Amino acid sequence: MNRLKSPDNSKAELPEAGGSQVVKVQIRLRQMILAGELSGGARIAELSIVEKLGVSRTPIRSALMRLEQEGLLQALPNGGYAVRTFSERDVTDAIELRGTIEGMAARLAAERGVAPVVLAEAHDCLHQIDALLRDTVLSDEAFSRYVALNETFHALLGELSGSAFMRRELARVISQPFASPSGLVIVQADSSQARDMLIVAQAQHRQVLDAIENREGARAEAIMREHSRLAQRNLREAVRNPAHGQMPGVRLIRQRSSYERAG
């Protein structure tokens, strides 16, 4: 299945996003970085971006600032920006942090109780995932739908916690490169075990919701921490398997050095 297509470079294909030119440029630059059009460590040449996207420097500079905040760019000492690269440990730590925060959100939801309307949304989301996974082979459309529903369920964990603070922290960690719930799930797309792995993930979704409903805080937290291990597995597969070299952004991740592995 060919799910990964390089974005069109034409100036007319900037994504529509809230009518904001800055947001459009931000989305397009993110696509270019993750597709490898702007390589890791490379300094961003504003003039070339102006020519490629056909917009002025003002929205481009604003978009670059946002991408630095997002973690995909780093500010250079003499001005300007360069595309960041990430160690495998960077990404591992970000995924671990997500699992920790999601685990805490699930524990709070179990201990404090949840609003029935949010619980109903979570159940509906999982019912939709169940329907997708009934097919023995997932089409491109079904896989894309799974990704969207998976992200929705994880976002609902913040809602289930009943804590505005937890919602903010979840949103912050999920915004980090490769740390989102579906940030590395695409590694499974062409695997013969793709559906099996998604079924395992869905079983954990069901288990955590059951633990929350039964007010089992420690169990709910442990399940979400364990759930993040699936993303860690996908990370190792993405970095070590050359077949995934075309996956968006993988070329920005460096394999662990011997020092990191020893640490």
For 83, 109, 174, the CA distances from 229, given in Å and listed in that order, are 27, 21, 15
What is the per-residue pLDDT across 74-117, written as a single tens digit (0 to 9) for each?
889 888 899 888 788 888 888 999 999 999 999 999 999 999 99
Domains defined for the chain, CATH in brackets: 11-84 (1.10.10.10), 87-258 (1.20.120.530)
Q: Backbone dihedral region of 197: left (phi > 0), alpha (psi from -120 to 50 degrees) or beta? A: alpha
pLDDT for 178 equals 74
What is the per-residue pLDDT across 149-176, written as a single tens digit (0 to 9) for each?
998 999 999 999 999 999 999 988 887 7
Residue 186: is its pLDDT beyond 50?
yes
The two three-digit tokens of residue 70, written as one number? 């997002």
pLDDT for 191 equals 54
Place of tokens 């999920």: 174
In the chain, what percentage of residues exceed pLDDT 90?
Answer: 35
| Highest mean predicted confidence (pLDDT) among 9-13, 182-186, 228-232 | 228-232
The CA distance from 248 to 225, in Å, is 25
Q: Model-level pTM greater than 0.85?
A: no
